[in-house]
């Protein structure tokens, strides 16, 4: 596989805000159009390959490892229950949110593709917990009440016993997504870098450095 290096990425925010076409942007910034188009295609493919071949498996392993450690510490040290559970949930759920690529795409796992129908309810619950309880401090779901003995959370599903009940299906979910990921990688021809990049045959003109934009 040919290794390609390029200058820093063009200012995509500037392109979107100005409603310029790629052709107009390249003309204004003095960038070679063919080189820019190849650069964009290459970076998008490199992002895709890296996301599905490296980042997704790594985050799934993190979630799985956190649950394995939870098994060990669930009774040994109760203080570690929630930190490990939170780590497992974050590592899993972040893959289904949109992660910015370096060029034109945002990358994520699509629920319908990677999550079996029978596990979509627990998947949705875990992602919701991540969004409104762990990553944010939304008060609505917690439904706090001030009483004479202190603050009581009336919201359901946010105590240890509620999390504990999710663990068996959570394990099953990680294994199912991992299995579907392997199928997706094969289907999308991402098994190896050689396979993923084999159809990327640029013309000599397209291998020019597209150049640094004139303006920031």
Angle at Cα 196 formed by Cα 188 and Cα 5, nearest 5°?
140
More confident residue, 200 or 52: 52
Angle at Cα 179 formed by Cα 135 and Cα 125, nearest 5°?
30
- pLDDT digits 0-9 by tens, 171-183: 999 999 999 999 9
CB-CB contact of 194 with 1 (8 Å): yes
Query: Helix (H, G, I), strand (E, B), or coil: what is residue 150?
Result: strand
Distance between CA atoms of residues 178 and 172, nearest Å: 10
Residue 184's Cβ-side half-sphere holds a number of Cα atoms within 13 Å equal to: 21
Give residue 203's pLDDT band: very low, low, confident or very high (50, 70, 90): low
Distance between CA atoms of residues 79 and 123, nearest Å: 25
Give residue 7's pLDDT band: very low, low, confident or very high (50, 70, 90): very low
Res 17: pLDDT = 65
Distance between CA atoms of residues 160 and 153, nearest Å: 13
Give residue 5's pLDDT band: very low, low, confident or very high (50, 70, 90): very low
Mean pLDDT of 199-212: 69
Put residue 73 in one of left, alpha, beta given phi > 0 → left and psi -120 to 50 → alpha. Answer: alpha
Res 4: pLDDT = 46
pTM given for the model: 0.81
Res 93: pLDDT = 97
- pLDDT digits 0-9 by tens, 83-111: 999 999 999 999 999 998 887 789 999 99
Res 55: pLDDT = 97
What's the distance, Cα to Cα, between the start and end of the chain in Å? 32
Res 8: pLDDT = 42
Alpha-carbon torsion (31, 35, 37, 39), positive or negative: negative
């Amino acid at each position: 596989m040919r290794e390609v290096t390029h200058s820093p990425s063009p200012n995509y925010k500037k392109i979107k805000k100005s409603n310029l076409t790629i052709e107009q942007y390249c003309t204004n910034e003095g960038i070679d159009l063919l080189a820019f188009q190849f650069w964009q295609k290459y970076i998008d493919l490199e992002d895709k390959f890296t996301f599905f071949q490296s980042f997704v498996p790594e985050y799934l392993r993190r979630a799985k490892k956190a649950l394995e450690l939870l098994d060990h510490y669930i009774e040994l040290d109760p203080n570690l229950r929630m930190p490990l559970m939170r780590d497992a949930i974050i590592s899993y759920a972040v893959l289904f949110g949109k992660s910015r690529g370096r060029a034109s795409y945002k990358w994520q796992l699509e629920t319908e593709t990677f999550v079996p129908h029978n596990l979509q309810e627990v998947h949705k619950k875990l992602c919701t917990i991540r969004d409104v309880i762990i990553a944010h401090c939304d008060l609505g779901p917690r439904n706090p009440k001030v009483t004479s003995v202190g603050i009581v959370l009336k919201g359901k599903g946010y105590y240890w016993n509620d999390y504990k009940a999710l663990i068996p299906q959570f394990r099953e979910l990680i294994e199912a997504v991992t299995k579907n990921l392997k199928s997706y990688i094969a289907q999308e021809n991402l098994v190896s870098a050689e396979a993923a990049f084999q159809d990327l045959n640029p013309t000599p003109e397209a291998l020019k450095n597209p150049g640094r934009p004139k303006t920031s």
